[in-house]
Amino acid sequence: MASFVSLDSLSGTTSADAMREALSTSGCKSSACGSSAGPGDMPAELWNRIKDHPCYSEEAHHYFARMHVAVAPACNIQCNYCNRKYDCANESRPGVVSEKLTPDQAFRKVVTVANEVPQLSVLGIAGPGDALYDWRKTKATFELVSREIPDIKLCISTNGLALPDHVDELVDMNIDHVTITINMIDPLIGTKIYPWIFYDHKRYTGLVASQILHERQMLGLEMLAERGILVKVNSVLIPGINDQHLIEVNAAVKARGAFLHNIMPLISDPAHGTHFGLTGQRGPKHAELMAVQEACSGGANLMRHCRQCRADAVGLLGEDRGQEFTLDQIPAEVAYDPSIRSTYREVVARERQDHVAAKQEATEVLDLTDSDARILVAVATKGGGRVNQHFGHAKEFQVYEASAEGVRFIGHRKVEDAYCQGGFGEDATLDSVMKTLEGIDTVLCAKIGDCPQEQLKAAGIAASDAFAFEYIETAISALYASRYGRALQARVA
Ligand code: CLF
Ligand code: SF4
């Protein structure tokens, strides 16, 4: 995965100015989605609750990191896209079994990460089973950590079955962000997704299982919304099973007070050993995912920057530093040093002001255009909201739609085999990147060689490094205006 704000460059710095310098030359990615709303779009109290949460605010994910601790392996339902030998597919990319942690081990890991990753703002428990079914360990972990690092945000992901039983405790523990995975509101559709549930000491199958799950999910969502907890709903888009149905899910969760809706593509592979993987159920194509997301616009706000991270992920969204913090690397005794995180926050506050001003200028540039053209622009970025990554190093691209109405974040696309494996190899294959860039009009990056630029051009995709290190919105609006506007000089090759 691509790294966003360069943690390497920041973690060694001790002064605010040094951090700011590092941010402006590395920075994060993207900008704008349903979670893209900024301080001007919502009450200050609400903005303060999401502004440092990389999942709830698309803008925040440029700057802040989450970490998951895998303390909750047990689960009370079976999803057809999950194999318990792998990480929870709701909130993680399927992979080999996570290192399961006890609450004490998790505590030491969080403190170690907080001392080394200044961007850390959220501690999430997202499995690998269900955080609420395995509540004892989830609760013990949160208690230990919040005592030592009181300003860390606590976040939970759940399938919702056990949720209504824990709402009071969630409120008491100041757990302000809860994700419920809701894949259906029609239990008949649920029968194609959930073979069984375990509820109230009993196992249920078929329609009854899905009916109970559905009722508990809706009840839990309503209870949380009533208590003012910010609820994100995750839905796994399963072509042929719930794709069109997710539009109804979106409306239903909005009506019950969900803050965000995250529609994620099914990840299905026979190698994962899941029911869907083994029976050939495919995941959606880029265009299918986008079509469902577009059909939901006007409903519950959409999150589009989810990376379907692992249940033990560490770092900014889109990067995984988990391997740097395995148990054998965690000290037996830990002491929290708050200075590095607080210095980082000062730096980010200033950088964000610059970014807001840049976005405003970008909007003014687009106001000079009167075209009805809409183009998709893919950006290679490693953080800070800037065009700052070499084309050949990009393991994913941020995709934006540019029009006279503005620059809109659409989502990210992963490159299965990064074009450049360690250097700018002219003979490296572009096949995988081409597939990733299907439907893209222009690629913006910090640097691109003549050879890949020519090959992209032959495939009808323009590529430019003329906007290197500029904010993404600044770059895209200038690109758009240079093509369709009257005011700017073209700067694109
Ligand atoms: Fe973790 Fe989930 Fe909290 Fe984020 S992840 S528990 S809300 S802190 Fe975020 Fe990862 Fe997507 Fe989840 S990118 S999979 S939405
Ligand atoms: Fe797997 Fe998560 Fe579903 Fe449980 S809720 S079966 S852990 S995907």
Mean pLDDT of all residues in the chain?
A: 85
Task: Give the helix/strand (H/E) hosting 396.
Answer: strand 396-403
Q: What is the Cα–Cα distance from 447 to 426, expressed in whole angstroms?
A: 14
Question: Is it the case that residue 485 has pLDDT exceeding 80?
Answer: no
pLDDT at residue 6 in the model: 40
What is the spatial distance between Cα 342 and Cα 57, in angstroms, rounded to a whole number?
20
pLDDT tens digits, one per residue of 204-254: 999 999 999 999 999 999 999 999 999 999 999 999 999 999 999 999 999
Calculate mean pLDDT across residues 304-328: 88
Helix ranges restricted to H, 203-338: 206-226, 245-255, 275-279, 286-295
Q: Where is 463: in which H helix or E strand? A: strand 462-464
For residue 176, the ligand closest to its alpha carbon is 1
273 or 24, which is more confident? 273
Question: Are the beta carbons of 385 and 355 closer than 8 angstroms?
Answer: yes
CA of 130 to the centre of ligand 2 (A): 7
Ligand 1 binding residues, C-beta < 6 A: 55, 66, 68, 91, 122, 124, 126, 155, 157, 177, 179, 232, 262, 306-309, 317
Contacts of 381 (CB under 8 A, 6+ apart): 2, 4, 27, 28, 29, 30, 387, 388, 389, 398, 472
Does the pLDDT of residue 36 top 70, yes or no? no
Q: Which ligand is nearest to the CA of 183?
A: 2
Q: What is the pLDDT of residues 262-296, one digit of tens each?
A: 999 999 888 888 999 999 999 999 889 999 999 99
Distance CA 88, CA 374 (A): 37
Query: How many angstroms separate the CA atoms of 181 and 202, rounded?
Result: 22
157 CA distance to ligand 1 centroid (A)? Answer: 8
What's the CA-to-centroid distance between 222 and ligand 2, angstroms? 22
Residue 129 Cβ inside 6 Å of ligand 2? The answer reads yes
For 242, residues 6+ apart whose C-beta sits below 8 A from its C-beta are: 183, 184, 189, 193, 235, 236, 249
CB neighbour list of residue 21: distance below 8 Å, 6 or more residues apart: none
pLDDT tier at 167 (50, 70, 90 boundaries)? Answer: very high
* Å from CA of 260 to ligand 1 middle: 12
Among 85-89, 120-124, 168-172, 175-179, which stretch is predicted with the lowest mean pLDDT? 85-89
180 alpha carbon – ligand 1 mean position (Å):
11
Categorize the per-residue pLDDT at 34 as very low, low, confident or very high, splitting at 50, 70 and 90.
Answer: very low
Any idea which ligand is nearest the CA of 127?
Answer: 2
Compute the distance between CA of residue 56 and CA of residue 436 in angstroms, rounded to an integer: 26
* Residue 411 backbone phi and psi in degrees, to 5: 160, -175
Q: What is the pLDDT of residues 372-412, one digit of tens each?
A: 889 999 999 887 788 999 998 888 899 999 988 889 888 88
Closest CA relative to residue 414, chosen from 311, 315, 320, 276 = 320
Which band of pLDDT confidence, cut at 50, 70 and 90, is reported for residue 299?
Answer: confident
How remote is the CA of residue 126 from the centroid of ligand 2, in Å?
A: 10
Q: How far is the CA of 23 from the centre of ligand 1 (A)?
A: 23
Residue with CA nearest ligand 1 atom 2: 157
* Mean pLDDT for the stretch of residues 153-181: 96
Which range (97-101, 189-193, 243-247) has the least confidence?
97-101
Distance CA(442)–CA(457), nearest Å, equals 9
Q: Does residue 322 or residue 225 have the better pLDDT?
A: 225
Predicted local distance difference test score (pLDDT) of residue 185 = 98
- Which of 76, 78, 79 best tests ligand 2's pocket when mutated (most atoms within 8 Å of CB)? 79
Quick check: 90 pLDDT over 50?
no
Q: What local confidence, expressed as pLDDT, does residue 188 receive?
A: 98
Residue 406 backbone dihedrals phi, psi, to 5 degrees: 150, -175
Say if ligand 2 is within 6 A of residue 89 CB. Answer: yes
Q: What is the mean pLDDT of residues 418-436?
A: 62
| Nearest protein CA to atom 5 of ligand 2, as residue | 159
437 Rama sector, left if φ>0, alpha if ψ -120 to 50, beta otherwise:
alpha
The pLDDT, as a whole number, for residue 355 is: 85
Q: What is the band of 338 on the pLDDT scale with cuts at 50, 70, 90?
A: very high
Q: Which two tokens stand for residue 383?
A: 């953080």
Q: Write down the pLDDT at residue 222.
A: 98
What pLDDT does 435 receive? 84
Closest ligand 1 atom to Cα of 122: 8
∠ at Cα 27 (106, 286), nearest 5°? 80
Output the pLDDT for position 309.
84
Residue type, 319: E
